[in-house]
A and B are shown apart, each in its own frame.
Chain A
């Protein structure tokens, strides 16, 4: 009997663990270590953040689902990895610290034959002075989104009688997840119209993108009216239409009560006042440590300096001009320890996707690569497939491949939640990481990269919400629903 331990029960880890258990059956063990008792369909946090959904609608308890699947669930956070074993034995193990199940604070060692790291991001609020001091809100977790809505409603209330300023975007020069902030600002604008307070609200966008519509993937192009039109045009059009001005190429350097300080790519600095601000924090790895058998620290061997796990990527590609689609990982296997994989946000990307930029003062101001839901799910499933084959067919089994330079992503950004009112931008991009050798110039296939705005996107967003929660609950036919 082999044991697979999956660290992290989010989009990627839950996909990996549930498929692995389904394929491995009762002969082998799957253990999931994750600190929350509930699974969260994160994309719908946006609707929680504007009061259109309750927290209960976007989460469900994991324990019964894992019990049904035969997965050993530990409500705990992984703390360290010991890939060569420890004092007592050579067997590889991780240490965990319980956060629930009545064992809060207790630590334990769990041995493994295979390890999948799917711990997602650490929301690194500490990277920007003041960002973690409650002056701003976030929508990155369901609880954050509940809080964001409470604060937003206070501002809407005040806006009945006085002018209020809202600032939404990224809270650091090296943030990712612009798409979430983009979706949130348009939902705020929509709700403000519904509440009849739009005229008293000045809503502004601030982001580290060098052009509006970069989204951390260097923008994209779509066919429109006989042209290949840049996402910049679409994004600027959306902001213009809704009367939302933008500040781009901005590194938010400090946040105070009601004020954000920023530096721009041209080196100039500025301040933006706000009554309500939702600024996405930068992401880092969750801070797992790694130790050798003798207790020496080998964290640097396994993890990149940003805390994400090293995988089979080309990390020495150098300058932007040298970047290739083939730099991106295919199997997500750790190069040092072949029984260790990383999937979703937890793997270290080889480099940015957007062109690196820094201000004239040398401050890096560029979006870091997003790893959205669809790639996170697909990678999780492929890694589970590889581990299953390694267990069942032996160590020479062929590993499954899923490069972000050969896979697309489908995204829907809503503005409102109604089935007959509001609109959403539905888009696909193929491939996520541009391949300038295969598609010179644009880097992407124009036939499979498209986007449009309309109610249809809303309907798709609703369907995705129910479909993915259904799938994550492992209801009948769940394996047939694609990631």
Chain B
């Protein structure tokens, strides 16, 4: 995987946006953390679904 500093080019289209750090990328596929997020996202989605059903 390319390091974050190498994916961005000065004054290119992608220069002004956020680029995830290695830690953020790791957390996105960390099974334990993602399991916790899975529960959290499900709860949030269920709340939105319930609110939307009037």
Contacts and interface: CB of A to CB of B under 8 A. Distances in A.
A482 to B, nearest CB: 5
B48 A448 contact: yes
Given A236-B17, A421-B29, A460-B38, A450 B52 contact: no
A346 to B, nearest CB: 20
A408 B19 contact: no
A407 B54 CA distance: 8
Given A237-B20, A246-B13, A454 B47 contact: no
Nearest to A239: B14
Interface in A216-249: 233-234, 236-237, 239-241, 243, 245-246
A423 interface: yes
User: Looking at chain A, what size class is its interface with the partner chain?
Assistant: 35 or more
Given A410-B49, A482-B49, A460 B13 contact: no
Contact of B34 (A233, A239, A243, A455): A455
A452 interface: yes
Contact of A455 (B7, B13, B20, B29): B29
Contacts of A459: 34, 38
A10 to B, nearest CB: 19
Interface residue SS majority, chain A: mixed
Contacts of A407: 51-52, 54
Interface residues of B, number: 30
A408 B49 contact: yes
A430 interface: yes
A457 interface: yes
A420 interface: yes
Contacts of B29: 420-421, 423, 454-455
B45 A237 contact: no
Interface string A454-468: 111101100000000
Contacts, number: 96
Interface string A408-445: 11100000000011010010101000000000000000
B42 to A, nearest CB: 7
B37 A240 contact: no
B28 A448 contact: no
Contact of B18 (A233, A245, A482, A483): A233
B45 A241 contact: no
A368 B31 CA distance: 38
Contacts of A408: 48-49, 51-52
A401 interface: yes
B28 A453 contact: yes
A456 B17 contact: no
A288 interface: no
A421 to B, nearest CB: 7
Contacts of B41: 426, 452, 456-457, 460
Contacts of B7: 240-241, 243
A74 B7 CA distance: 54
B53 A460 contact: no
Contacts of B17: 233, 236-237, 240
A241 B47 contact: no
Contacts of A241: 7, 19-20
Interface of B: 7-8, 13-14, 16-20, 27-29, 31, 33-35, 37-38, 41-42, 44-45, 47-54
Given A378-B52, A408-B48, 4 more contacts: A240-B14, A245-B14, A448-B44, A482-B49
Interface of A: 233-234, 236-237, 239-241, 243, 245-246, 374-375, 378, 382, 400-402, 406-410, 420-421, 423, 426, 428, 430, 448, 450, 452-457, 459-460, 482-483
